[in-house]
Amino acid sequence: MAGGYTFDADAMADRIRQLEDVRNRIRDQHQVLGKRSWIEPPSNDDPAKAQVKATLVSIAIAAGHNLAMYQYADAYLGKLYEAAGRYGAQEESTGALFEK
């Protein structure tokens, strides 16, 4: 075949699996970040309490960033699923035209 584009369903499926893996690892880390109740100051003085507060704020910011990454990856996967379906259908219908 000279020039043109050929849809590679296997390559698309591989990319989807890779991104699903990334998304799932992000989700798993979000669950870890959500477990903050075990963080306690090593002593009952103000600097120790302030350090715990700063740590909790930092973890909350990281959890927010993590959630944003998860949502982005999930939305991107949605687009890939949609595109894979459309490309696959287009490839089949276009291929049928040239096979005649």
**Does the residue 1 lie in any domain?**
no
- Look at residues 7, 59, 61, 1 and name the one whose alpha carbon lies nearest to residue 33: 59
In a domain, 37, yes or no: yes
Cβ atoms of 16 and 59 within 8 Å: the answer is no
Residue 54 lies in a domain: yes
Question: What is the extent of the structural domain holding 32?
Answer: 9-95
CATH, residue 18 = 1.10.287
- How far is Cα 26 from Cα 44, in angstroms, rounded to an integer? 34
Asked if residue 30 belongs to a domain, the reply is yes
pLDDT tens digits in sequence order for the chain, 100 residues long: 456 667 788 888 999 999 999 999 999 998 888 887 788 999 999 999 999 999 999 999 999 999 999 999 999 999 999 988 887 666 555 555 455 5
Tally of domains in the chain: 1
Residue 93, pLDDT score = 55
* Amino acid 32: pLDDT: 86
pTM summary value:
0.72
Examine residue 4 and state whether it is found in any structural domain, yes or no: no
